[in-house]
Structure 1
Amino acid sequence: MKKTIILTLSICLFTIGIVSAQIIPNFSFGVKGGLNYTAFPSSGIFNNSNRAGYLAGVWARVGGLGFNFQPELYVTGKNIRIKDDLNNENTAKFTSIDVPLLFGGKIGAFGLGGRFYGGPVLSFAVNKDQSLTGATSDATSLRYKDANYGFQIGAGVDISSFSVDLRYEGGLNKIAYGDGNSHTRVNVFSLALAYKLFSL
């Protein structure tokens, strides 16, 4: 009987903890960093090979009732090698400031939980380096736009103050000027580690 009472109380406390974690509004702020894997799909204008890049920045999260809003601000470096039919190569590297505005849900309690989210992302180019390794041609150069927009979807796991996120980003507009770049939209897979600095 005593064991049954203790077990029942434990289950009740655990349930109350989960419900409280979902209902009570909260605010968190932290830093994040990670790697991305970038691809620029094209319609036969050039071939491209994916290359790894980086991301580093800050995030905030506010929510309750199991739902949350998570704006982020981070610097990201995206790299890709492109090649045309004449074997001209261009290593395209550009740096941007990305601003995702993500909406999602969370389940879990006691420092352990899972998240899923999605939303728009704005990207502002701050550096547009291109290192030509072959003869210069229109097919192997990109005239980047200063601003682009897209969407992100992903999921994450929270363990105490640490989080791990796996995310996909799809471009909604072409990232470069010119008819030859009409299908050049960025696709990015990223894996990031985040740390919560404080929560209220």
Structure 2
Amino acid sequence: MKKIILGFAAMLFCVQFSQAQLLPSLKLGIKGALNFSSLKSDGKWLNSDTKTGYQIGVWGRVGAAGFHVQPELYYSQKKAGFKDEDGENGEAVLKSMDLPILLGTKIGLGPLGVRIQAGPVFSFAQDGKVDFKSATDIDNYKKSSTGIIGGIGADIRNFTVDLRYEHGLSNISQNSDRSQKVSMWSVGIGYAFL
């Protein structure tokens, strides 16, 4: 009889735990990040150094059964130092609204957990320009671009910490002979209100 009661209690616990994992969850919050970006070019016409920029925005997360979707919207300022084929040094500043849509999973219980996430990111240039701080005037940049982003993160109660890598998939220059793509690492923190 004791074994039957313990078995029944264990079965109820498992059912309750599995139902809790299947229920949808929702989180909304804010985030900020430092990013370390560079411009990658085809050929040797542009050498880029990594510079520090920032991101600030909002995020949401909807999940069930151990998986989640996390859309974000943030203002991003990406910087890259460069030297062009003429030896001209300068700094590129890319200002955009970025929309990543991350798919992921969380490993852990309760308020503590580690996340693995990846997905596409869509960038929309603030003014359709890339500002170059040098004597060289380089313009004709596309107003939108796409990339892929992935990384790891941790949740500690309402706080989040993320380490991500973003790789540009599309050429941000309208000049097909001088293809440029953004490559970026970011370290961010966030806070969930819900």
Instruction: Give TM-score, length-normalised by structure 1.
Output: 0.83
1: distance between equivalents of 2:183 and 2:17? 36
Provide the secondary structure at the position in 2 that maps to 1:175: coil
1: distance between equivalents of 2:15 and 2:189? 29
Shift of 1:190: 0.5
Gaps of 5+ in 2: 1-8
Gaps of 5+ in 1: 1-8
Inter-CA distance 47–171: structure 2 relative to 1 (3 Å threshold):
same
The answer to whether 1:190 aligns with 2:189 is: no
2: distance between equivalents of 1:142 and 1:18? 56
Retained in 2: the 8 A contact 1:169–1:188?
A: yes
Partner of 1:114: 114
Report 1:18-29 matches (<5 A): 19=18, 22-29=21-28
Partner of 1:50: 50
Report 1:162-177 matches (<5 A): 162-177=159-174
Retained in 2: the 8 A contact 1:111–1:158?
A: yes
1: distance between equivalents of 2:37 and 2:140? 17
2: distance between equivalents of 1:192 and 1:35? 6
2: distance between equivalents of 1:84 and 1:129? 15
Partner of 2:141: 144
The Cα RMSD (Å) is 2.1
- % identity of equivalent residues: 38
Inter-CA distance 113–16: structure 2 relative to 1 (3 Å threshold):
farther
The answer to whether 1:31 aligns with 2:30 is: yes
Partner of 2:4: none
The answer to whether 1:158 aligns with 2:155 is: yes
Provide the secondary structure at the position in 2 that maps to 1:145: coil
C-alpha deviations, 1:39-61, integer Å up to 9, x for none?
A: 11122012111100000000000
Letter in 2 for 1:24: L
Shift of 1:78: 0.4
C-alpha deviations, 1:52-97, integer Å up to 9, x for none?
A: 0000000000011100011000000001111123321231112100
Instruction: Give TM-score, length-normalised by structure 2.
Output: 0.86
Retained in 1: the 8 A contact 2:77–2:96?
A: yes
Inter-CA distance 154–113: structure 2 relative to 1 (3 Å threshold):
same
Letter in 2 for 1:33: G
Retained in 1: the 8 A contact 2:159–2:192?
A: yes
Letter in 2 for 1:40: L
Partner of 1:4: none
Inter-CA distance 142–37: structure 2 relative to 1 (3 Å threshold):
farther
